[in-house]
Structure 1
């Protein structure tokens, strides 16, 4: 029998090398993230593979799993440990090698494989690892599946079974790129900055964009797992500023930035303006709803209020559903509502047919942006951005908060704002108009200015976003008010970035 994991072991000891270590908090709402060697070791990853095979058996899903890994110094070893566990649990593994996460999702369809386990820490700092898993294409695990997987693994409720097998699938990225580029080349002449932050997407983005017929200006496309300039994260202001500089220097029509595992896309326009992903979502919804009148779009609670108030969307009969943040939550909601697309402020975009297959893919998002430009030949990206009603919004800001207490803090903040509403207290000098608690708390005052606080699903952090349709001053006032409530909780630490 494979040993039951321990939550903590001392490195450089016999126990560390002969027993699995898995910290329970690594099982998040919709994927798994750990600090490698501090919170999970290779034997712990094997235990995860065994547990995943057991879960697939419980779900009555054939134990056939696509695996892939991102470009970090340790990801290949983690994938092999995961593969060993899966095979020991009786699973047939199909390894597509180094890839971006959407390639693994695509492989579920292209290889007719029911399950996926992609080894990636996405945009997390070096030292982190994780696995994105699913067993019902195109969706990935949510809280229920992740909770059951945690119980199986932490409890050691798995056992080796016969039938495991391994197959390496050669040259799979070429198959994925061919699928996305088997279409007419763009007629509009476009120069595009492809920004990859030295992450995995850099191996594939320039080739894909060139095959679509655009001139590519590569930015940080050489793979380097030290991430020498900044993390590959299109919500990170450092990356957005670098994209803006590249657009200005090259005279490009747009900059497209991809995160470390390629399932997200950020945009900077031809004038160097950094367009937050929720505003890109509004622009794409405007464009697509002209072709698909009455379409439904799912958006996360961090997203701009324009989805609910934009007159162009209303004129096209658009229906908008605000839902829980998290790629698994939005992906499932898009599937369940048969929505045309789903948008997250983080840059996870989900397109159903005829645009995509329902999963989040940064390259499909990039193509949707370029299609929008192709359909509006008289307008630049900046023109399309200026067409939106003006609002003043913040980037996603994340104060540190330990995993063990972050959900409790989010609940305390929610209760605090609800008590303010009940007592008729004012916020930034205005009455509180409404409070949404579908995911954390989103509090809105009379003029439409709002602030959001929620627990991060994949890091020891909280998430804070503010926006005002009235003024930058009100947006900043809302941030100050939200931060004051947060500081009533001593567990809340410093922000990664602020306005």
Structure 2
């Protein structure tokens, strides 16, 4: 019988090497993330595989699963521990090797396999590991599946059974790249900076962009799991500024930055100015709704208000619904509504047919951006950006808040603003026009300025975003209004970045 996992074990002991350690907080709302060897060990990963296999059986899904791993020094060993647990649970495992996350999602379709378990910590700092999982393509697990998986693993409620097997799919990336590039080449010759932050996308992104007809300027595309320059996260200003410098140096048409596991894409225009992903979403929505009548889009609560107020989208009959932040939430909502696409401020974009298969893929996003430019041969990326109404937006800012308390703090902030609205009190000098509480709280005041506070789904942090259609000063007013509430909670620490 496999032992019940413990929440902590002492390293360099017999127990650490021969017993499972799994910290409960690693089971997030829609994927799993742990600090390797501090919160989970290899036996714990094996327990996770056994639990995932048991859950797949409970769900009544065929026990076949795709797995791959990102380029971190320990990811391959974690994947093989996961595979051993999946096989013990009776699963047939299809291993595609080193991969970006969307390559694993693609493999579900290409190999006709229902389930996926991609070993990646995405853009998290070194030391983190995790698994993105699903059993109903193109969707990934949400809170219900993750809660049940947590119960199975922590209670060692495993069901070992025969029938497990393993198959390695040699040269699988070639199939993924061929699928992405089997389209007409761009008519416009675009010079593109392709930045990968030394993450996994560096093994694939340059050749994909070259194959669609771009002249590629590679930036930090060499694989290096120490991430020597900056973390591969296209929401971080450090990465965006590195892309800016390369765009200006090479006089590129656009800079595209990919995160650690390749399911997100950040954008810098030809003048070196970063375009936050929600604004890129507005530009793409304009382009797509010009081709497809009455287009429906889904965006997350961190995203700009322009999806509702933009006159071009209104004129083209586009409709937009706001939903919970998180790739699984957004993917599911986009799928349920049959939307043409979903856009998340973090850079997760979900394209349904004819643009994609419903899952988030940074390379599909990059191709869509290049095709948008191809359809506007007389316009630069900056021209397209400047054509949308001006707003002043913050990057995503994340003050530290422990996993054990972050949801309680977020709930208290929601109640604070609900009480303010009920009492008719002012925020940043104005009355509250609207509260959206599907995911934390998004507070909009009379002039359209808004601020968001929510709990991060995958890190011990809160998330703060502010925007104003009026001025930078009003954006800063909204930040002060949101931050002043957070400062009343001693559990909230320093920000990773600020405006």
CA positional deviation for 1:223 = 0.4
Matching of residue 416 in structure 1 with residue 416 in structure 2: yes
In structure 1, the partner of 2:93 is 93
**Equivalent-residue separation in structure 2 for 1:285 and 1:159 (angstroms):** 47
CA positional deviation for 1:338 = 0.2
**Equivalent-residue separation in structure 2 for 1:13 and 1:366 (angstroms):** 47
Q: What does the per-residue CA deviation read over 1:308-351, in whole Å, with 9 as the maximum and x for residues that have no partner?
A: 10000000111101000000000000110000000000000000
Matching of residue 148 in structure 1 with residue 148 in structure 2: yes
Matching of residue 342 in structure 1 with residue 342 in structure 2: yes
Q: TM-score, normalised by structure 2?
A: 1.00
- Preserved contact between residue 26 and residue 34 of structure 1 (Cα < 8 Å): yes
Q: What does the per-residue CA deviation read over 1:401-444, in whole Å, with 9 as the maximum and x for residues that have no partner?
A: 00000000000001011111111111111111111101000001
In structure 2, the partner of 1:78 is 78
Structure 2 residue runs without a partner (length 5+)? none
**Equivalent-residue separation in structure 2 for 1:392 and 1:376 (angstroms):** 25
SS at match of 1:129: strand
**Equivalent-residue separation in structure 1 for 2:319 and 2:348 (angstroms):** 19
Matching of residue 184 in structure 1 with residue 184 in structure 2: yes
**Equivalent-residue separation in structure 2 for 1:230 and 1:7 (angstroms):** 31
Pairing of 1:242-253 with structure 2 (within 5 A): 242-253=242-253
SS at match of 1:193: strand
In structure 1, the partner of 2:283 is 283
In structure 2, the partner of 1:391 is 391
Q: What does the per-residue CA deviation read over 1:243-262, in whole Å, with 9 as the maximum and x for residues that have no partner?
A: 00000000000001000000
CA positional deviation for 1:184 = 1.6
CA positional deviation for 1:185 = 1.2
**Equivalent-residue separation in structure 2 for 1:203 and 1:460 (angstroms):** 30
In structure 2, the partner of 1:58 is 58
In structure 2, the partner of 1:320 is 320
SS at match of 1:93: strand
- Preserved contact between residue 264 and residue 360 of structure 1 (Cα < 8 Å): yes
**Equivalent-residue separation in structure 2 for 1:184 and 1:356 (angstroms):** 15
In structure 2, the partner of 1:118 is 118
In structure 2, the partner of 1:478 is 478
**Equivalent-residue separation in structure 2 for 1:397 and 1:391 (angstroms):** 18
In structure 2, the partner of 1:311 is 311
CA positional deviation for 1:187 = 0.9
In structure 2, the partner of 1:157 is 157
SS at match of 2:405: helix
Q: How many residue pairs were aligned? A: 499
CA positional deviation for 1:160 = 1.5
SS at match of 2:87: helix
In structure 2, the partner of 1:263 is 263
Pairing of 1:366-445 with structure 2 (within 5 A): 366-445=366-445
SS at match of 1:194: strand
SS at match of 1:131: strand
**Equivalent-residue separation in structure 1 for 2:5 and 2:313 (angstroms):** 51
- Preserved contact between residue 2 and residue 159 of structure 1 (Cα < 8 Å): no
Pairing of 1:12-31 with structure 2 (within 5 A): 12-31=12-31
**Equivalent-residue separation in structure 1 for 2:371 and 2:184 (angstroms):** 11
Matching of residue 167 in structure 1 with residue 142 in structure 2: no
Q: TM-score, normalised by structure 1?
A: 1.00
SS at match of 1:50: helix
**Equivalent-residue separation in structure 2 for 1:320 and 1:18 (angstroms):** 52
**Equivalent-residue separation in structure 2 for 1:52 and 1:189 (angstroms):** 46
CA positional deviation for 1:159 = 2.7
SS at match of 1:345: coil
SS at match of 1:403: coil
**Equivalent-residue separation in structure 2 for 1:2 and 1:63 (angstroms):** 20
Runs of 4+ in 1 over 4 A off after TM superposition: none
CA positional deviation for 1:183 = 1.4
Matching of residue 449 in structure 1 with residue 449 in structure 2: yes
